[in-house]
Structure 1
Amino acid sequence: MAGRRRASRVVLSLVLLLAVLVGCGGRAPSDRASIEVQRVLDRRAAAILHRDEPAYRATGQVAAAGSEFGNLREVPLAAWAYHLTGLHRSGDRATATAELRYRIQGYDRSPVTVGRTLRLARSAGSWHVVSDEPAEKSGAQLWEQGAVTVVRGEHSLVLGVGQSGERLRAYADLADHAVPAVSQAWGTDWSAHVVMLVPKSLDGMAGLLGAPASGYRGIAAVTTGEAGGSAQAPADRVIVNPDAYGVLGDFGKQVVLTHETTHVATRAHTTAATPLWLSEGYADWVGYRGSGRTAPQVAPELERAVVDGRIPAALPDDKDFGFTGDAARLARAYEGGWMACRLIADRWGEVRLNDFYRAVGDHKKRTGAVEAALRDVLHTTPEKFTTQWRDYLRAQLGSSS
């Protein structure tokens, strides 16, 4: 018993000692700094959300304040908040990592979350934001590139920097045509609206994606968003490369935007199990659906290969869709995926094509996903389908077509 009492007293003494150490400055100063910085970020967020410029300027040094606030003036924000995830302090200087969570009114059901790195300085007993930049491996936000102009369409919201209102209206008109076209093909189990971001240039697009511009040269648009997002996920953003998009004709512009809008509609059923030949091929199939364009018109690179006797032995692999690779190879990958989806629609019907897409995406993992959907939805095998696809290429793109 005496030994137990001594052990208890030792444990109690250690607990008391820890309490004294914390009270005398163990972890408390760091915790206090975190609390103070979070409060500053809360005030900054509230100022942005409520368009209170004096309050916003009060949270940051004059040289660092103003641009973000002014650039966001037209953006219809429903929510804006910072969640502090880390703080490194050195005297009166600190670097904070945080998650910025924001929603656009009428478009985002849940917040868009982006990583931010903020530098702060302490003066007169208060912390102030010195800089607010994208975290490592995070893309920039559109308002960091300049004042955002907003154009609303019937089914779309277009946010642009360095673009005229007339040009942004043209984007909205294209999106308003794309949304009903996608719903007609895919169904109505999606938000039925699209958010477009139109930066000033290719470099601006690359900045939004946090990637080198060289990887997107010649790519007219891309769609962001986590594959397999739930119905509560924030709306995807269609990001336009104005340099490449601008050289397209009216038909090409519409096909591209309908393609990207298809990615928005199908995202909840596009998962790690979905191969790119299916997701990209289906988006192209919707884009060209009802256009009257023939297979050789849509798939010229693949037609060349077929005529030359170079019929692909298998459906395109994911690596064939790399933006930085051979342009002809990339074109053949997209065209091959489109032809596969076109084959399913022609042979089994559009309803089965949609069922097949959903069945593949709803599989728990990539392995076996296509095989199971071919078996359960189309009642065939990978080997038979590949043979049918190769025969279809020969029939549709061969010299006698």
Structure 2
Amino acid sequence: MTLLSLLIVGYLALLLWFGIRGNTKDRTLSGLLTTGGTTSAALCALSLVSTIIGGSATLGIGGLAQKIGPAAFWWLGVGTIGLFLHGLFVAPVIRRSNAMTLPHLLGTLAGENAERWAGFIIAVSWAAVTAAQFTALHSLLLSIVGGMKAEILYAALAGGIILHTAAGGQRGVIRTDALQAILLLVGFLLAGAWCLIDRPDAVAALPKVPFTDAFGFTDWVKMMILVGITFVIGPDMFSRTFAAKNAQSARTAAFAAAPVLALFGVIVTMMALLNIDAKAPITDWLSPDSPLPMILQVMLALGLVSALSGSADTLLLSAAGILEKDVCGRERAGAVRLWAVLLGTLALASAWFSRNIIGLLLNAYSLFVPGVAAPLLFLAAGRLRSADPKVWLLGAVAGGILGLVGNLTGENAWTFAGIAVSSAASLLAVRLASMKSCVAGAENGA
């Protein structure tokens, strides 16, 4: 598509312009990573939508639909529930802290070693998730443009994402996210509306219940634990909450974005099921043989490119900021930009080695969830709770190791055992910290 190639080049120009301009004031780490807590609820909501709807929520759901049918919806469905819970119990609590990153907050509750541990786990995991987005972008361009033209566009787009993330920081990322969220929602809403109008009988015949023989309630529970918790406790959700103007803005953003995720999940699952026999149920809507009108194909293609780009930049900045602040223990804004370039370049190159988007994400989650998210949940949900540093860290490390074993063996039972161990240790650590506080208070009173 020559027209599409030209539009992608124009999209890249907008991406760089929106992402880089006006960011000379972000010289501090706080400004670079959180915009200094000045972002409106509307921009935070659009940024959440753009960040969450990436490769797994588009191309990944298409492939998942071929395996488990309408239950593929739950990949975003559990995200909707998790994001709502984040807004209800977590966002207003953590926004009132002075933290800049998820591990930074953890460090104030469970000590420096916990912060280092979480920083390392997230940096490694989110590097893999960033690679998944670049992999999806590369696959998309190959399918809709093909040949050397696709490789050139991929290198240009990926390079543009890295450049605007490193130069623009969180302020630039959130601005571009707003543009990308609008493009991806318009593209999919128009394509979904066309499906409803052009083939109402086929849509009416689709299964309505998002459970199948291949994906039952037990599988839903597992997905809710392994994937849904990353929407309740996740670096990307935290970064948007820390960037919000205040606690109420953070909560409003999460509540506004959650139903959009559910709507998008319905649309992308419907489109995948209507094209279920295709090699790639989502991207094949853009093939020369597709019945979708050309103008809608172009809009859908721009929506897909926006979805993948909008996730990659947020993930990249989160990983870079956490490496500098929480792993290295420094606060150099310039170093964060360099980390973003290095991690982005590695992610760019990874697209030639892997094609399994959902697999990459699950591998990352199997390490992050038992090693960080689950034990942190008990410290940050409802109110901030201090924890005994040694006990919390011991449980988190044990959980992370078990999650790694599950990742290497392919047995989810190890990962869930890790979640149970780290969660129990976290509860014990909170209890011990509370007892020590009571004893110290009694001694001071005496």
Q: Report which of the two has the higher share of strand.
A: 1
Greater Rg, structure 1 or structure 2? 1
Q: Which has the higher contact order (CA 8 A, sep 6+)?
A: 2
Q: Report which of the two has the higher share of helix.
A: 2
TM-score (norm 2): 0.23
